[in-house]
Amino acid sequence: MQTLAQTIWFESILGQQLLAREQAMFDHAVSDVFGFYAVQVGTLPINCLEQSRIPNIILTGMASGNVQCESCYLPFAESSIDLLCMPHVLEFSHDPHQTLREAARVLVPEGYLILTVFNPLSFWGLKKLLIKKSQYPWEGQFFSLSRIKDWLALLGLEFVEAQFLSHEPPINNEKWLKRMSIIERLGRRWWPMMGGQYVIVAKKRVVNITLLKPKWKRSLLQSGLGLGGHNNMNQNKSQQQRGMKEKNNE
């Protein structure tokens, strides 16, 4: 369930800016993914699947959505979901490793996982170090891209791409955010991996294993050996009988 602190923060200037940027990223990322079932996990006020072409869409949350559950224990069958979106779920999960394991479990082979994560190597990460940890979103765990990529690789999820956003300092003031728009433009060009958030796309890969079946019908002997040996024996018998007839005639 979305807490009062979350609601207040996402209604702020900074929160609205973040939602608008991430909405645009999700709209682009999900538009070309096809399948039967798509799931959004979490309670953020964002519709990650708004532009999805997948017919069956499921929203999950702790106390809201079509299905109520924790991100660590998704109530879906193994290999049943084609697209799974998790906007800022890992940072506020009590067990982010288990959350990713569940994502890998429910995804179909070649299914897609799309995450948004707060980046500790940014102005946002710096602010997290300087203010009270009890405030949203600074109370969450921020994860670097390299760390998430390592976790994904261990679970058989292949990294596809990532994109960073929000390179300017997180100042909750509309006037100052407009003034710092030049920092956002410069950051995208000169220090792209230091954005405050990033969107990461991963795909579930399954290695195809071809079983080598024994050729039970194949003879243990090389072809012709048995037949050839039998013919040689018949030829020897014929020669012996011919020899005995010649002796009797003499």
pLDDT of 221 reads 37
Q: Band of the pLDDT at 209, cuts 50, 70, 90? A: very low
- Mean pLDDT comparison of 42-51, 53-62, 75-84, 237-246, highest-scoring range: 75-84
Average pLDDT score over the chain: 85
Three-state DSSP state, 167: coil
pLDDT of 43 reads 79
pLDDT of 211 reads 47
Q: Which of 64, 65, 119 shows the shortest CA–CA distance to 90?
A: 119
CATH of 4-204, one of 3.40.50.150, 3.50.50.60, 3.40.50.920, 3.40.50.300: 3.40.50.150
Q: What angle do CA 88, 49, 148 make, to 5 degrees?
A: 35
Determine what percent of the chain is predicted with pLDDT higher than 70: 82
Q: Which of 39, 126, 31, 51 shows the shortest CA–CA distance to 86?
A: 39
- Residues 89-133: tens digit of each pLDDT: 999 999 999 999 999 999 999 999 999 999 999 999 999 999 877
pLDDT of 7 reads 86
pLDDT of 149 reads 97
pLDDT of 62 reads 77
Max CA-CA distance within the chain?
131
DSSP strand pairing (197-204 vs 107-118): antiparallel
pLDDT of 160 reads 96
